[in-house]
Amino acid sequence: MNIEELLRAPSLDGQFPITFSNGYRVSTIHFECTACKKPAPLKQVSGYISRIVENTVDVRAVMQCPCGLINRYQIRLRNERSYSHLKDGTWIHVTTKTPLHEKVIKYYKFKFHACLLVWKLIMMKRHLNKLQTVLKCIQTSRK
Ligand SMILES: [Zn+2]
């Protein structure tokens, strides 16, 4: 896809947020000019979003900066919260951190399962105690 085609493409603000089948949602991408570092809102960036495989989304876009430079972007987003972007012909891989609220949820899920396990063990012990009493009764009645 050449620059002219990408410049004619629709702006990216209508193509976001991107939601993956596992629930991971990318609400926006922060674009900036590679020359003057001026940030560009999505509506200034035009391009295409394509899904070739379920867990990745490819973004090909261009942004014509007021400074005169036409920036070209190629980004691959992945559903496990990482992304790669093409910079001077090399792919740079970036892993984003798990947000705090998800860490908290994971922690409580773990706690919950731990509690459930303890409760199951208590119930099991009760059943064993009952079984032992029954067995004792059987033994004593046999004598
Ligand atoms: Zn610029």
Q: For residue range 67-107, what is the model confidence (pLDDT) as tens digits?
A: 999 999 999 999 999 999 998 889 999 987 777 777 788 88
* pLDDT surpasses 70 at 143: no
Residues 142 and 78 in one domain: no
Residues 40 and 87 in one domain: yes
Residues 21 and 43 in one domain: yes
What is the percent of the chain with per-residue pLDDT over 70, rounded to a whole number?
Answer: 99
Residues 91 and 81 in one domain: yes
What's the 35 CA to ligand 1 centre distance in angstroms? 5
What's the 68 CA to ligand 1 centre distance in angstroms? 6
What's the 17 CA to ligand 1 centre distance in angstroms? 25
Q: How far apart are CA 26 and CA 81, in angstroms?
A: 9
What's the 41 CA to ligand 1 centre distance in angstroms? 13
What's the 39 CA to ligand 1 centre distance in angstroms? 8
What's the 82 CA to ligand 1 centre distance in angstroms? 26
Greatest Cα pair distance in the chain: 102
Residues 124 and 76 in one domain: no
Residues 21 and 84 in one domain: yes
Q: Which residues pair with 61 in a beta bridge?
A: 47, 73
Domain limits at 8?
Answer: 3-95
User: How many structural domains is the chain composed of?
Assistant: 2
